[in-house]
Amino acid sequence: MFHSLKTLWKKWRASRNAGQQLDALLALADADAPYAERSEWLIELAHWIHRRGQLDQPDSGAQADAPAHRAPPEHARVRYLLHVLDRNPAWKANVGAMLRKLLRESDSISLLCDAGMPVHSGLLGALVGRLQAQLIPPAPNRRDLAALVTLMFPATLDPEWIATLPPELLARLKALAAEPVEAPAPASTPQPGEFSLDLLTALHNLTCQISSTGLSPTVRGRLSIDDAHVAVERLPFYRLTRAMLSVENARDEGDAARLLHEVTWLRLLLDDCRRATNDVFAHLYRNGVRVDTVFQVERMRMRIVRAERLLDAWMAAGDAPLQARLVADLVKANQESQSIAHLLRSNFALLSRKVVELSADTGEHYIARDRAEYLAMLRMAAGGGLVTAVTVYVKFGITGAHLPSMIEGVFAGFNYALSFLVMHFCHFSLATKQPAMTAPTLARELDDAKEPPGRARFASTVVALMRTQAAAVLGNVLLVFPACLAVQLLCGWLFHAELISPAKAHSTLQSFSLAGPTPFYAALTGVLLWLSSLFAGWADNWFVLHRVEDALAWNRRLRMTLGVAGAARLARFCRVNAAGVWGNVVLGMMLGFVPAVVSAIAFHYEVRHVTLSAGSIGVALGVLGPGALRSGELWWAVAGVASMAVLNVAVSFALALQMALRSRDLRRKDVRPLMRVVWRRIVRRPIDLVWPMRKGVD
């Protein structure tokens, strides 16, 4: 008999190998010990099964049963455990009684219903909860099966070996933990054992929770938004609990035919609930996302899946492999419910999906797929270059005023924001901004990325995006550089004045040098470009979620002032431009203010944008004259501007692509085939990177 963990560890240290450790552990088993000591014993047994090391077989009996194929090492330890118990009937009876008492005295609902289900709607609350769970693990005296499983299966262990246990080992384990029965139940009905009753109780709990969430105003309002005449009693959530009660009544009556009919009806209702949940998500992503609503609906969808799994296991009470798969999934879900890494991955995937779905049509017009669209992009970029020329001279005027850095950053931000708004309303284009806004389009193409046609479409989209970005950079630079140069030359010819001093011109060229920190600054500028797309997506979601368009269209004063049609046009104008205006304003303020803040609190940082920098080189060249063409600092600056074009685009595109991949929950192994297809497409037709083929030819 074992009385404490101290006694257990004394015998454990005295043993020399795994076989002796198991013998000492089995000899200490006591079915009459307190619950905490029995759970400690089971935890140590689970750790013995997971422990790596050589397992010495006492004779050829256990080795004869070993499978020929390669199996997880846990299988060999379980086989050895059962062999030792078969050779010692007293130990076997004691261990079986302990297992039955532990399962009977533990609350299984926490594992069957709640394992893997999110509890906190906010990331911060969930993160604090999981940190607390890792710092303060559950005590073995908690009569909670989820707590016991947490202690038996740490997060670093993969429970997949449970699902792959051979049928003969599963049968022997089931016999070890089973209560002796005088007469077996009919094969057509589930076995009325403890596990079967636990599954039925968990099913009842889950169906009640699913029904309660589905009938809440938050979900019900999004189910009937497109059809106001859908009655509550017609919703599957309303009929779900009654269907579950009918299943329980059929089981109590022992009517196999009725039970099968009621279970089939329950399955159909769960399928309807799943489809209704998908409709709610579609409504959310179409009409605005609210975090708490997404949390409730996502948890309801997980409960529907769990209920279907439990129902399968309950009906297939004699299918040991199916129940082993259920146990492995429950253990895995319990591990994930306490994993900080899994929490961060899942939340980032949800955030990514929200961002790319909110502005699903935003990025399409940034991709030129044929020659007409390519030429249109060149014209838009040329217009953006002319506007940027004005922005460059205003920027030099602000820096020439020698204001305090924070004040200068604010004025520079206003300058950039005003310039970007002019481009937006004139339908001009700014180079390097397109990749950050194309995550929605990339995500759409990834929906079929596991099939060859889908990968081909994705490759075509990526190539078109690169070609469009090349056109945007070319159009911006070919206009902003000569425009800035021409303005300086014109001022020098007419007024004999230099808009910036020669010293400022030299320092400008030196600051853009490829040999300096220009590449690092250009990469950080790419991050700012990507962040602006996130803010644009948030603004679009806020506008739709709060139904601002309807509020403006039906505003009494606006309708009296502008008329019904005028108010509707104003509302539509605000809806179409909300994301663009907010994204451009935020981008401008970040380009102006963030460098001042970062330089004040961390390290020196300057914005390095290819269009703005190309215009600055034009101004500097106009001041320094033709002699600058023979200086090394000019060509180092030109090389720096080329690196800006590459890094601005590459960083913002990489972040947008990562966001799109996360939104579709694609892993690294799924990305490699996509990249190979893209590379083959570029190698096969490199001309596509700079000039599109005729429409309809691909």
Tell me what percent of the residues of the chain surpass a pLDDT of 90.
29
Q: Return d(Cα 512, Cα 519) in angstroms, integer.
A: 9
Together in a domain, 111 and 172: yes
Together in a domain, 13 and 133: yes
Together in a domain, 137 and 234: no
Enter the DSSP assignment of 115: T
Q: Determine the pLDDT at residue 371.
A: 79
Q: Determine the pLDDT at residue 188.
A: 39
pLDDT value at 695 more than 80: no
Q: Determine the pLDDT at residue 385.
A: 92
Q: Does residue 13 lie within any of the structural domains?
A: yes
In terms of residues, how long is the chain? 698
Q: Determine the pLDDT at residue 185.
A: 46
Together in a domain, 486 and 584: yes
Q: Return d(Cα 455, Cα 447) in angstroms, integer.
A: 10
Question: If you average pLDDT over residues 457-465, what whole number do you get?
Answer: 82
Q: Return d(Cα 676, Cα 454) in angstroms, integer.
A: 13
pLDDT value at 458 more than 90: no
pLDDT value at 264 more than 70: yes
In angstroms, the first-to-last Cα distance of the chain is 78
Instruction: Indicate the pLDDT class of residue 677, thresholds 50, 70 and 90.
Output: confident
CATH code where residue 612 lies: 1.20.1080.10
The domain in which residue 517 lies consists of 355-688
pLDDT value at 58 more than 70: no
Together in a domain, 636 and 508: yes
Q: Return d(Cα 49, Cα 643) in angstroms, integer.
A: 56
Nearest Cα to 637, choosing from 660, 653, 621?
621
Together in a domain, 109 and 168: yes
Together in a domain, 488 and 610: yes
Q: Does residue 460 lie within any of the structural domains?
A: yes
Q: Determine the pLDDT at residue 1.
A: 44
Q: 618-652 pLDDT, tens per residue?
A: 999 999 988 888 888 999 999 999 999 899 888 88
Q: Determine the pLDDT at residue 79.
A: 92
Work out how many domains the chain is built from and give that number: 3
**Does the pTM exceed 0.85?**
no
Instruction: Indicate the pLDDT class of residue 288, thresholds 50, 70 and 90.
Output: low
Q: Does residue 95 lie within any of the structural domains?
A: yes
Buried b (16+ CB within 10 A) or exposed e, 511-536: bbbbeebbbebbbbbbbbbbbbbbbb
Enter the DSSP assignment of 183: S
Q: 644-668 pLDDT, tens per residue?
A: 989 988 888 888 777 777 766 677 7
pLDDT value at 61 more than 50: no
Instruction: Indicate the pLDDT class of residue 425, thresholds 50, 70 and 90.
Output: very high
Q: Determine the pLDDT at residue 155.
A: 79
Instruction: Indicate the pLDDT class of residue 487, thresholds 50, 70 and 90.
Output: very high
Q: 502-529 pLDDT, tens per residue?
A: 999 999 999 999 998 999 999 999 999 8
Q: Determine the pLDDT at residue 230.
A: 61
Q: Does residue 483 lie within any of the structural domains?
A: yes
**Averaged pLDDT of the chain:** 81
CA 105 to chain CA mean position, Å: 38
Q: Determine the pLDDT at residue 8.
A: 52
Q: Determine the pLDDT at residue 357.
A: 54
Q: Does residue 408 lie within any of the structural domains?
A: yes
Give me the torsion for CA of 197, 198, 200, 204, rounded to 10°: 140
Q: How far is CA 216 from CA 119, 122, 209, 222, 290, in A?
A: 18, 20, 11, 10, 15
Q: Return d(Cα 636, Cα 508) in angstroms, integer.
A: 12
Kindly give, in sequence order, each residue whose CB lies less than 8 Å from that of residue 222, ignoring residues fewer than 6 positions away.
279, 280, 283, 284, 287, 293
- Cα 483-508-391 angle, rounded to 5 deg: 40
Domain C-terminal end among 317, 341, 363: 317
Q: Does residue 668 lie within any of the structural domains?
A: yes
Q: DSSP of 388-400, one letter per residue?
A: HHHHHHHHHHHHH
Instruction: Indicate the pLDDT class of residue 289, thresholds 50, 70 and 90.
Output: low
pLDDT value at 447 more than 90: no
Q: Does residue 245 lie within any of the structural domains?
A: yes
Together in a domain, 198 and 165: no
Question: If you average pLDDT over residues 235-254, what whole number do you get?
Answer: 89
Q: 572-615 pLDDT, tens per residue?
A: 999 888 888 988 999 999 999 999 999 999 899 999 999 999 99
Q: Does residue 680 lie within any of the structural domains?
A: yes
Q: Collapsing DSSP states into helix, strand and coil, what is residue 144?
A: strand
pLDDT value at 436 more than 60: no
Question: If you average pLDDT over residues 131-148, what whole number do you get?
Answer: 82
Instruction: Indicate the pLDDT class of residue 464, thresholds 50, 70 and 90.
Output: confident
Together in a domain, 142 and 226: no
Together in a domain, 265 and 381: no
Q: How far is CA 572 from CA 543, 551, 566, in A?
A: 11, 11, 10
pLDDT value at 697 more than 60: no
Q: How far is CA 519 from CA 471, 474, 515, in A?
A: 22, 20, 9
Q: Determine the pLDDT at residue 522.
A: 93
- Residue at 414: amino acid letter: F
Q: Return d(Cα 432, Cα 455) in angstroms, integer.
A: 25
Q: How far is CA 486 from CA 55, 93, 621, 623, in A?
A: 84, 96, 10, 11
Instruction: Indicate the pLDDT class of residue 73, thresholds 50, 70 and 90.
Output: confident
Structure tokens at 346: 């899942």
Q: 324-379 pLDDT, tens per residue?
A: 898 999 998 888 877 777 666 666 555 555 555 554 445 555 677 777 888 888 89
Q: 157-194 pLDDT, tens per residue?
A: 888 899 999 999 988 988 888 765 544 444 434 444 55
For the four alpha carbons of 375, 380, 386 and 391, in that order, the dihedral sign comes to: negative
Together in a domain, 151 and 205: no
Q: Return d(Cα 148, Cα 168) in angstroms, integer.
A: 26
Together in a domain, 174 and 196: no
Q: Determine the pLDDT at residue 14.
A: 44
